[in-house]
Amino acid sequence: MDEKSTVRTSKFLSRVLRHDPAAIGIVLDEGGWVDVEELLAASTRAGRRFSRAELDHVVANNNKKRFAYSDDGLRIRASQGHSVEVDLGLASAEPPPVLYHGTATATLPLVLREGLKPMSRQDVHLSADVETALRVGSRHGRPVVLVVDAAALATEGHIFRLSANGVWLTDRVPPAHLRQYTG
């Protein structure tokens, strides 16, 4: 599978498994899972044919580890980032003292005023390192990285969960717990 096909299939899977499963006629269970064979058949009917081996390649080689198989390998889901209602079943976890969030410079004033909100997603996504946050922020324009005082948030009772691909999830981050990263 060449890089272009891998990216195209990954984007398709992100749309279907995170945002619009009905687009190809599948239904995710409460945990966001769908049977692999059902996904492959529905994708083919929708004009996006790929094999199990190609799906395995996308899951294994996605640099953001966006997808995961069930332990038995029979089901697949997105690791996080859903706009459709799912319960990933992630246990709460103690975050590191500081986490990071990447955004575009154009949105910085609003974020510093209102804090981080999940917007169309179920959770706010945070990273454990500046490099990842910078990469995420650059997808939306000129990037800026925000430092999140995760220790203070946890002390105040905010719940954090860690997704299978290392993304930290929480419901919101009030502006008092944000500052711009300066290096």
User: What does the alpha-carbon distance between residue 130 and residue 135 come to, in Å, rounded to a whole number?
Assistant: 9
pLDDT at 121: 86
Q: What is the domain partition of the chain in residue ranges? A: 3-78, 98-180
Task: Give the pTM.
Answer: 0.81
pLDDT at 120: 83
* pLDDT tens over the chain, length 183 residues: 899 999 999 999 999 999 999 999 999 999 999 999 999 999 999 999 999 999 999 999 987 889 999 999 999 999 988 889 999 999 999 999 999 999 999 999 999 999 999 988 889 999 999 999 999 999 889 999 999 999 999 999 999 999 988 999 999 999 999 999 998
DSSP result, 122-161: SSEEEBSSHHHHHHHHGGGSSEEEEEEEHHHHHHTT---E
- Fill in the amino acid letter for 36: V
The CATH number that domain 98-180 falls under is 3.20.170.30
pLDDT at 65: 87
Helix axes 52-61, 3-14, angle to 10 degrees: 90
- Contacts by 20-28, CB closer than 8 A, 24 or more apart: 20/84, 21/84, 24/48, 28/77, 28/84, 28/86
- Token readout for 80 is 């996080």
**Biggest alpha carbon distance in the chain?**
50
User: What does the alpha-carbon distance between residue 19 and residue 170 come to, in Å, rounded to a whole number?
Assistant: 19
User: What does the alpha-carbon distance between residue 55 and residue 114 come to, in Å, rounded to a whole number?
Assistant: 40
- Tell how far CA 168 is from the center of its chain: 9
Q: Which CATH architecture has domain 3-78?
A: Orthogonal Bundle (1.10)
Contact 125, 168 (CB under 8 A): yes
